[in-house]
Amino acid sequence: MTAHSASLMTAGSPRPDRLPAQFPQLLPADGRPAGLPAHLAAHGPLPYRGSAGRLIADVRESGLTGRGGAAFPAGRKMAAVAAAGREPVVVANGAESEPLSEKDVTLLRYSPHLVLDGLQLAAEAVGARRAVLYLHDDGSLHGRLNEILAERRSAGLDRTATDLVLAPPRFLSGQETAAVNVINGGPALPGFTPPRTFERGVGGLPTLMQNVETLAHLALIARYGAPWFRGAGTAVEPGSMLCTVRQAGGGSAVVQAALGTPLGDLLLLSDDVQAVLVGGYHGTWLPAGQARRLSLSNTALRPAGASAGAGVLAALPAGSCGLAETARVARYLALESAGQCGPCLNGLPRIATALGTVAWSRPDNRVTADLGRWAGLAERRGACHHPDGAVRFVRSALQVFAAEIRCHQRGACTAAAGQPFLPVPAGPADESDWRAPR
Amino acid sequence: MSQQLRVNPIACTGHGLCAELLPELITLDEWGYPVLDGRPVPRGLGGAARRAVASCPALALQLSPAP
């Protein structure tokens, strides 16, 4: 497990005054976890609609998309589950496994009632009788959430029974089909689709799985309406999202930013920054100069080969070696492969080893040629998107740090042996931890 | 209706029979796993494609209507 130490809207969130004031605040303004009385005082009681289906139109109109990374329209997903014909299950996915991301755990710690409200409302909207909150075991959070669930039960807030299920400490635990497997009592291994989760998921039933932040937005949309949600963000990508921002100078913060916010308002992009990683370890490296011209939206980022994803942003300081950083992360990603699919099982360790040669030896042209070929062989041939994300990350490094590769070929890098900048958890201890702690 | 080949990469263990039976559409990568050429199965190769599907020891090769 990674240590979560995000500070809220404090150090490391430059110029918060430039964010529009009206957008829905997911995290408490006073920086203290919102208990039930404070939550009810701020937002009022749960606005149940009295029948299934009625919230879905509002969610569609709001333009809310999934905040777990895939940005799938939330209303369309809800409509698909509601139309599946059998009584569905709703899952709040809080098992963020990306080592750079801290926004889901921060949201669960500071605004748990907003997430649980959203889970209840989503359950009512699709006609579910069972709800699950799925998250990593970080030592204290799940115990606290169990207390909160009991508190809500005794206050009579929740109409749908909610179970808490713990995710194994693996990178792929939050992947949708892996999460379904864990909730069904199995290991955190991705499955082959179809069937899709919305057709056949938990207990074989149609399953609505939404990221915890998506549900928190949903709880606000249900109260304040779609037009209010659209008051922030862009016309194409409305609303706001939580971002985990890691500055080149160190330290990370979880900030809420409107879609369309310039990346330079979130990250301090001074001359001491050489590159920006957008989207975490399945994401994309961008040169700092390019990042300065881009904003937090898929419209802006997709032409650059990146996406807003789950809002993970990191600025790499000039004194770090991007190739060494990438090689360490690539090794971690290879170790976190579920090992089920041949191209991922064979490709990722070879890619990671070759990157190690690029970072710490004098790579000849054969190494870079191997890297390009293995990237092509690993891509789009797995059951899940793990190899695709790893390849996107590695390819962008080979482009952005191309000049650095030539330095390494001459034996000229002095930074590669320096302190790592990006956090890389130790690999899996043994095979048993694919299973959830009980 | 045109048909499309697909591999379930979890089930596939790289026996490689498919590439022997249907070299026109399937090659093997350097680790022995099938690489499909991605096009719908052309008329005239339908029989060979069905044989390759039926022969896969891992039941990993699938034939379904092209999207």
Chain B residues whose CB is inside 8 A of the A386 CB are: none
Runs of H (alpha helix) within A158-267: 176-183, 212-224, 226-229, 263-266
Structure pTM? 0.93
Chain B residues whose CB is inside 8 A of the A346 CB are: 31, 33
Strand-strand pairing, A7-8 and A252-258: parallel
Q: Among A337, A346, A388, which would you mutate to test the B interface (most chain B Cβ atoms within 10 Å of its Cβ)?
A: A346
Closest residue in B to A191 (Cα–Cα): B10
| DSSP per residue, A43-96 | H-S----SSTTHHHHHHHHHT-B-TTTT--BHHHHHHHHHTTSS--EEEEEE--
User: For position A123, what pLDDT does the model report?
Assistant: 98
The string of pLDDT tens digits covering residues A73-107 is 999 999 999 999 899 999 999 999 999 999 999 99
Inter-CA distances, A229 with A39, A48, A222, A233, Å: 19, 18, 10, 9
Chain A residues whose CB is inside 8 A of the B31 CB are: 342-343, 346-347, 377
Q: How many CB pairs under 8 A join A and B?
A: 38
Residues of chain A in Cβ contact (below 8 Å) with chain B: 191-192, 340-344, 346-347, 377, 381-383
CA A339 to chain B, closest CA, distance in angstroms equals 9
Using pLDDT thresholds of 50, 70 and 90, give the confidence band for residue A430. Answer: low
- Best CA proximity match to A336, nearest among A285, A280, A298, A291: A280
Q: What percent of chain B has pLDDT over 70?
A: 100
Q: What does the alpha-carbon distance between residue A417 and residue A407 come to, in Å, rounded to a whole number?
A: 14
**Is it the case that residue B55 has pLDDT exceeding 80?**
yes
Chain B residues whose CB is inside 8 A of the A381 CB are: 7, 9, 33, 35
Cβ contact, residue pair A340, B9, below 8 Å: yes
What count of other Cβ atoms lies within 10 Å of the Cβ of residue A140? 9
The more confident residue out of A411 and A135 is A135
Q: What does the alpha-carbon distance between residue A429 and residue A143 come to, in Å, rounded to a whole number?
A: 24
Closest residue in B to A379 (Cα–Cα): B35
User: For position A15, what pLDDT does the model report?
Assistant: 38
Cβ contact, residue pair B9, A377, below 8 Å: no
**Mean pLDDT (whole number) for B26-52:** 95
User: For position A16, what pLDDT does the model report?
Assistant: 40
Q: What does the alpha-carbon distance between residue A64 and residue A71 come to, in Å, rounded to a whole number?
A: 8
CA A186 to chain B, closest CA, distance in angstroms equals 16
Look up residue A150 and give its two tokens: 């009991």
The string of pLDDT tens digits covering residues A10-56 is 333 333 444 344 555 899 888 889 999 999 998 999 999 999 889 99
User: For position A182, what pLDDT does the model report?
Assistant: 97
Three-class SS state of A131: strand
**Mean pLDDT (whole number) for A256-268:** 96
Ramachandran sector of residue A361 (left: φ over 0; alpha: ψ -120 to 50; beta: rest): beta
Chain A touched by B19 (CB under 8 Å) = no
User: For position A434, what pLDDT does the model report?
Assistant: 62
Q: Among A175, A370, A377, A381, which would you mutate to test the B interface (most chain B Cβ atoms within 10 Å of its Cβ)?
A: A381
The more confident residue out of A431 and A171 is A171
Selecting from B10, B29, B30 the residue whose C-beta is nearest the C-beta of A192 gives: B10
The string of pLDDT tens digits covering residues A327-375 is 999 999 999 999 999 999 999 999 999 999 999 998 999 999 999 999 9
Three-class SS state of A276: strand
What count of other Cβ atoms lies within 10 Å of the Cβ of residue A413? 20
Q: Among B27, B29, B64, which would you mutate to test the A interface (most chain A Cβ atoms within 10 Å of its Cβ)?
A: B29
Q: What percent of chain A has pLDDT over 70?
A: 92
Burial-class residue A360 by CB neighbours within 10 Å (0-12, 13-18, 19+): middle
Look up residue A222 and give its two tokens: 């249900």
**Is it the case that residue A414 has pLDDT exceeding 90?**
no
The string of pLDDT tens digits covering residues A287-337 is 999 999 999 999 999 999 999 999 999 999 999 999 999 999 999 999 999
User: For position A137, what pLDDT does the model report?
Assistant: 83
**Is it the case that residue B61 has pLDDT exceeding 90?**
yes
Mean pLDDT, chain A, integer: 91
User: For position A8, what pLDDT does the model report?
Assistant: 40
Chain A residues whose CB is inside 8 A of the B30 CB are: 377
Of A43-52, A196-205, A288-297, A378-387, the least confident: A43-52
The string of pLDDT tens digits covering residues A206-233 is 999 999 999 999 999 999 999 999 999 9
Inter-CA distances, A203 with A52, A79, A183, A196, A208, Å: 21, 20, 8, 13, 12
CA A25 to chain B, closest CA, distance in angstroms equals 42
